[in-house]
Structure 1
Amino acid sequence: MNKTKKKILEAALQLFNTYGLPNVSQRKISDHLGISPGNLTYHFKKKENIEEALYFDLVNWISEEFRQMGEKEVSLQNLITFVDSFFVTIYTYRFVYLDIVHLMRNNDVISAHYKQLIISRKLQFLRMIEQFIDSGLFREAELPDEYEMLYKRIQIILDFYLSAEEITENTIGYRPMGNHTLLFMHSIYPYLTLKGKKQFQEILPLYE
């Protein structure tokens, strides 16, 4: 990627995060960078192309985090560290989550990809749960599709946590996001075995 294109994406990410996706035009991005609108459209013909480039950067970052998690020992500490890192990435690309409904309604490329993505992410999540069941940290499912329902709840937390924080706290900073990891920990606690709960109790004080 050439330097100008990289600078455009960096500036757009900053502006989208600060002002919200619907409030940032290509003109605002070019003015921020001090370049002509023509120079910007040479690299990104439409604003949607910038949105897509940043969205796929986010997807690639998260895919790499999943890959790294798959190479680590199965433990609650590694799972929680993974989730904490996940939220850092979400915060970095927070406009995607704060404006997710706008994106789904107005960007067909992102909307189509996201609908397929959540299916593949669910499969990754369920494979991870199987590993934790095999390790004796998670219990076997007691209800039909119980872990599919857990995935759905966690997906909602990941997609809309920042929106909830902005509504209730009126501002978002990484630490004021605050209890994101603790919220995840409480979500998985009912699924832990005695062995898992023991590990959980050892880790909990670090996040309270």
Structure 2
Amino acid sequence: MSTKERILDASLALFNELGERKVTTNHIASHLQISPGNLYYHFKNKQAIIFALFERYEERVLTILQVPQNRTLQPMDKLNYLQAIFRGLWDFRFMHRDMEHLLLEDAELHARYRRFFRTCQLRVQAIFRGLGDAGIIRVNEDDVAALALNTWIVVTSWFSFLRCNLPNRRTGWRATAPAADCGSRGHRHRPGIPVRRHQLAG
């Protein structure tokens, strides 16, 4: 593994464990037993490390949010999407825990995140349409955008909810399992009541 990849892996582990704001580049270098100069050879500052980690996260999420081209969606796909997304959220949990701070600190990351969000919304909408076309859920075209937005808000807020209500990290991880499991039982033709955009604006 290259030094650059080791820096990213160590940074991700430390950010997840301690929180991004408590970790400095010196902490990362010490953890890896390399000199700060060696770290700065690969990344000019901590923001550059965070940006590179976001690129990893973005690639992972967009790889998950794809509708199969050679078959229709199956009921199990709904569960698989949820489980894969929750695993991705857990592996990069510092981002959603500290998202507002991270975006306010880095205009380039903020712009990249907004593009990522728009792409995710389009892909989630396509997934809901695919589930509807397969008869797995009942959803009107008028509801697809709002349903995708609701899903994004709930899923990306999940670990903030756990942090506030389940302070034990191990318990918090186990508590994500029922959330993923909800996609597999008792939800045929029951996608939920989406919030309309004008309701959010009001």
TM over 0.5: yes
Map of 1:148-159 to 2, 5 A cutoff?
A: 148-159=145-156
What 5-or-longer segments of structure 1 have no aligned partner? 193-208
> What corresponds to 1:134 in structure 2?
133
Residue 187 of structure 1: how far off its partner (Å):
7.9
Would you tell me which structure has more helix in proportion to its own residues?
1
Structure 1 runs of 4+ with >4 Å offset? 183-189
Q: What amino acid sits opposite 1:38 in the alignment? A: G
Please give the per-residue CA displacement for 1:126-181, whole angstroms capped at 9, x wherever unaligned: 1222222222222242xx84222211211112211001101100033432333221
> What corresponds to 1:30 in structure 2?
29
Number of equivalences: 188
Residue 116 of structure 1: how far off its partner (Å):
1.4
Q: What amino acid sits opposite 2:165 in the alignment? A: T
TM-score (norm 1): 0.82
> What corresponds to 1:63 in structure 2?
62
Residue 189 of structure 1: how far off its partner (Å):
5.7
Q: What amino acid sits opposite 2:96 in the alignment? A: Y
Map of 1:55-134 to 2, 5 A cutoff?
A: 55-67=54-66, 69-71=67-69, 73-134=72-133
Cα RMSD, aligned residues only:
2.2
Q: What amino acid sits opposite 2:74 in the alignment? A: S
- Residues 43 and 49, structure 2, Cα contact 8 Å, conserved in 1: yes
TM-score (norm 2): 0.84
Q: What SS does the aligned partner of 2:34 have?
A: coil
Could you tell me how far apart the structure 2 residues matched to 1:182 and 1:123 are?
A: 24
Q: What SS does the aligned partner of 1:191 have?
A: coil
Query: Kindly tell me: are residues 153 and 109 of structure 1, through their superposed partners in 2, closer, same or farther at Cα, counting changes over 3 Å?
Result: same
- Residues 17 and 93, structure 1, Cα contact 8 Å, conserved in 2: yes
> What corresponds to 1:198 in structure 2?
none
What 5-or-longer segments of structure 2 have no aligned partner? 193-202
Please give the per-residue CA displacement for 1:84-136, whole angstroms capped at 9, x wherever unaligned: 01111110111111111111111222211111111111111112222222222
Could you tell me how far apart the structure 1 residues matched to 2:153 and 2:169 are?
A: 18
Query: Kindly tell me: are residues 100 and 187 of structure 1, through their superposed partners in 2, closer, same or farther at Cα, counting changes over 3 Å?
Result: farther
- The correspondence for 1:160, drawn from 137, 157, 161, is 157
Residue 66 of structure 1: how far off its partner (Å):
2.2
